[in-house]
Amino acid sequence: MDVAEQIQPGPLPRRMANAFGDALLLAEANGNDLGYPWVDPVSNELVLSAVTPRGRELVEAAGITVPHRIRDVAHGAAELQRIQHDVTFLGSRGAPDADLIFMTIPDYRDNRALIVVSAMSRPLLDYLAEHYPVGAIAVQVDPEGVGAGPASP
């Protein structure tokens, strides 16, 4: 993911920002059934992520009053947060080149955990691929360490 892709084009209108915040809280409280929400800057819709039928029911019952749509995703917010947390301990487990990892953040747009590294490492990529679902993670190389923060809501 290109760093420029992570930046929201401008501040969200208050209603959308509030709806995003509420959707994020709902996802965190129901992390096995819901993935990360995201605000699509092209359609100006709140995109909600359902992992299970129960997740879809939760979204439909939430009474969302901004333009929105529901997408089906494979990974819940709880799993993605667990991966982000777990990755911070790879050095203590002897993972190759784990010292290259300097940040893990949510990738709201693509509903995955973004692992930011300072340099490319095939052994580290292989380790990550062996230990985490490939569709649940993305790796960004940021040699300057100037990551733009979480992928845009």
Residue 95 is predicted with a pLDDT of: 96
pLDDT at 149: 52
pLDDT at 7: 43
Token code pair at residue 9: 């084009």
- The pLDDT averaged over each successive group of 10 residues in the chain (153 residues) is 47 94 97 97 96 98 96 98 97 95 95 96 97 95 69 51
Structure tokens at 28: 């965190």
Q: What is the pLDDT of residue 143?
A: 84
Task: Report the Cα–Cα distance between both ends of the chain, in Å, rounded.
Answer: 15
Second CATH level (architecture) for the domain 3-72: 2-Layer Sandwich (3.30)
